[in-house]
Structure 1
Amino acid sequence: MTRIAIVDYGMGNFHSVARALQAAAPQDEIRIVRDAAGIRQADRIVFPGQGAMPDCMRTLDTSGLRDALLQAAREKPLLGVCVGEQMLFDASDEGHTPGLGLFAGRVRRFQGPAFQGHGGAGRLKVPHMGWNPVARTRPHPLWDGIAPDTPFYFVHSYYAVPTDAALVAATCRYGHEFCCAVAADNIFAVQFHPEKSAAPGLQIYRNFTRWQP
């Protein structure tokens, strides 16, 4: 039985993630953990996030989980979700907030015109919210069983811009093309919400529980 820890530092949709994981992998032990020991004892880590990046980083630091999370990110399969993906990077434009620095790059805000139509230039609505097709840029075990350009559910105003294009595992278009998934070694992270993305989202979680990086 695999032990999967969902890191609860006070800023995430932890119970929805737990329900999705339990549906995807009923044979595994799914725990929402609030202490470093829970992270150390787990075989796999899910790192969700929801809300503003400055608040997420602050609550992660005050939770006392930062060091245990960083250690796990060096040793265990880790899945980042939404702001949990953004926090893996060097910094965010949201509040000029430093991130965890696991990946080189910066988190940027959507801005600028979205389109040019008969009525003139339309402004991009922020946050980006709803279902959008995800275009995979390279194969990865977490895409197994998911058709190309499958839509996933997004709710976000910011997106990661990796310094190294080789990190990008998928893109999405909202006003312009942006990175919506990154992968390197034992880490896979997505901007969309698998737990809100019906069967394809459950397949992401199922694939994560079986992934052997």
Structure 2
Amino acid sequence: MVGIVDYNAGNIKSVERALGFLKADYVLSKNPADLEKCDRLIFPGVGEAKYAMEQLKLTGFDTFLRDWAQAGKPLVGICLGSQIIFEHSEEGDVDCLGLLKGTIRHFESVWKDSEIASNLKVPHMGWNNLEYVNGSTPLFDGVDPKSDFYFVHSYLIQPSDSSIVKAYADYGCKVPACVSSGSITAFQFHPEKSGRAGLRILENYIKSTD
């Protein structure tokens, strides 16, 4: 059973549609107690990091997600959910869940520090392909490496340990598009909005035995 975390900041409907298409058994809830017996979680998200953290604290999902990760249970973060699993975000200057070590920074901040003169528009919005690195992840099994995925974001993951990055996209700099460490995997792009390739990723996750 897949649990979907609903904390008033999630991209819920498209995730539900994707899981429905895959005929997956899932539970959507704003109450952590309803998800305790699930085998794996999907932690989606759109919007602003500070607001999302406020909602997680109000619902009790902050503690629930930390306990879930500490227990080594499977967790997939999507978009904002892929970011606030890290320690701190420049967006709202807010401390986040700290499930993985690293920070979330604005594109222009990263470009400036890297002395990149980019005229690309922010947010990074639209379709982009990936470069698999560091052994990739089993969740990409059966996914054509030439596939495009749908991105919408102004901030990007900067993990402390670059070896947890399993795929990069290119948008003025290397953008960590997928990170994976232990039982946690996170996608900066939206697999639920990325057509057949994205559905295959979700199917791999649903059927995985880890």
TM-score scaled by length of structure 2: 0.92
User: What RMSD, in angstroms, separates the aligned Cα atoms of the two structures?
Assistant: 1.5
Q: Deviations over 1:21-66 (max 9, x none)?
A: 1212x1x321211112122121110000100111111111111222
Q: Count the aligned residue pairs.
A: 203
> 1:126 deviation in Å?
0.6
Q: Deviations over 1:100-143 (max 9, x none)?
A: 11111110111148xx9xxxx76220111000001111231100
Are residue 176 (structure 1) and residue 173 (structure 2) matched?
Answer: yes
Q: 4+ residue stretches of structure 1 with deviation over 4 A?
A: none
The correspondence of residues 122-201 of structure 1 with structure 2, limited to 5 A, is: 123-137=119-133, 138-201=135-198
Query: Which among 33, 37, 44 is matched to residue 40 of structure 2?
Result: 44
The answer to whether the Cα contact below 8 Å between 2:74 and 2:183 also exists between their aligned partners in 1 is yes
Are residue 97 (structure 1) and residue 117 (structure 2) matched?
Answer: no
> 1:169 deviation in Å?
0.9
Kindly, what percent of the aligned residue pairs are identical? 40
Q: Which amino acid aligns with 1:179?
A: P
Gaps of 5+ in 2: none
Q: 3-state SS of the aligned residue for 1:41? A: coil
- The residue aligned with 1:61 is 57
Q: 3-state SS of the aligned residue for 1:89? A: coil
- Cα distance in 2, alignment partners of residues 143 and 122 from structure 1: 30
The answer to whether the Cα contact below 8 Å between 2:126 and 2:151 also exists between their aligned partners in 1 is yes
- The residue aligned with 2:14 is 16
The answer to whether the Cα contact below 8 Å between 1:130 and 1:153 also exists between their aligned partners in 2 is yes
- The residue aligned with 1:206 is 203
The answer to whether the Cα contact below 8 Å between 2:80 and 2:188 also exists between their aligned partners in 1 is yes
**Structure with larger Rg:** 1
- Cα distance in 2, alignment partners of residues 100 and 164 from structure 1: 17
Gaps of 5+ in 1: none
- Cα distance in 2, alignment partners of residues 157 and 140 from structure 1: 25
> 1:149 deviation in Å?
3.5
- Cα distance in 1, alignment partners of residues 34 and 146 from structure 2: 36
